[in-house]
Amino acid sequence: MEIITEISDVNYMLQKYKGANLQLAFYSESLSRLAIRLYFTNQKKVIYIIFFDYEKIFGTD
């Protein structure tokens, strides 16, 4: 397992998963925890993005 905390390193890693499937792996509003799983159906590589103590979740198309 590799833990990445620097935003520039996170963005670099996410570029490798462009076009991957996304799955909400875990969510707890009371604990302010969220985990997102990114994966390709034809590969074994998986990445989990885990959020702690977030205030809001929003996204764009």
d(CA 10, CA 4): 6
Stretches where the chain sits below pLDDT 50 are none
Q: What are the tokens at 45?
A: 């590589």
Give the pLDDT score at 38. Answer: 92
Domain boundaries, the chain: 2-56
d(CA 61, CA 57): 14
What percent of the chain is helix, strand and coil (3-state, nearest 5)? 15, 35, 50
Give the pLDDT score at 57. Answer: 67
Kindly state the DSSP code that residue 39 receives in the 8-state scheme: E
Q: What are the tokens at 24?
A: 């909400």
